Structure 1
Amino acid sequence: MFLSRIHQETSAADLEAGALALKTDLKGRTQQKKQLVKENFDCFVSCKTTIDDIQSKLKRIEEDPEGSGTSHLFNCIQGVSSLANRAFEPLFERQAQTEKIRSVQGMLQRFRTLFNLPSSIRGSISKGEYDLAVREYRKAKSIALPSHVLEFILNCFLFHSIYFL
């Protein structure tokens, strides 16, 4: 079919010559391949052996869930984790201390009026502004009403301020 369509104008002698040239070219290429294999046969065998060894090792590793590949990876990860813990542990401790200090600072800020109260009352008493001192005392008492200890401390302070100034 190919010859009848493509080479319908070509003579039979030309077709035979073309076929002979193709056969010669094919033999030449086949000879080149054979020569290449002969020259590199040892290399081909060595590569095939290496590929087979790699394949068998990979199969063994895949079949064994505790294989050398995973245990080596696990050991590396453990080492990195241990190193990270040693490196970052002081930072985590400092962060915890910082959070505690911030909490105390927030509490001090929230009760700032109470902490400033003794000096405020003392100043009011020294200026003779007793009504302002009483207002400050009542203000503090309303803020810290649930705390009986704070009330005791304030009463002691007032007693001390009034009688020992």
Structure 2
Amino acid sequence: MKKSGFSLVEIIVVTAIMGIVMLIFSPMIDAFIGAQDRLYNQSKVDSRLNEVVEFIKRDVRNARSDSNLGGEPVGVFDSDDILITDGSKGKKVIIKTTDLSGNPKFIQYAVDGSTLKLNSTDSFTKTIGSSVVLSNIEMGEFKYQDKVLLFYFKIDLPDRLDGKIRNEVRDVGITRINLQ
């Protein structure tokens, strides 16, 4: 009498071969998942930092000179809100620009603890509530010298990503072609 199906020995051999194949391919699968996670997180970080850089670039390119900023369109301030004129680094930048109607407007970006805050007012001294533009900042600073605004931001990453993805915008320089 002929039996159909597999014997116990055949099933054990196939299971052993499948186990060996899985052991061989599991590091590759793990590496692929890790690479995919790093790419996804790098994309998120790059997107957020690029968005902040574009905000600041737009505001600097529309800047207008102002006496409150030492006759410059952009002023960097230290932690005591004193205008820095020697090219040192500060935690706050104020940019004088205009709104769509042509009215003067002051835009302030300030590193406050671990956040970058944006504040827009119609007066140099008047302060309205600010909104957070970038959070989890490990380090952030501004420098304005020779008509060029330089800034540096470094984002604090979770430990699992630390050292595996880029998390900073280093020395981005913004200048205007025709400063007034």
> Quick check: which one's helix share is greater?
1
| Greater RCO (Cα-Cα under 8 Å, separation 6 or more) | 2
- Structure 2 length-normalised TM: 0.34
Structure number with bigger Rg:
1
- Structure 1 length-normalised TM: 0.36
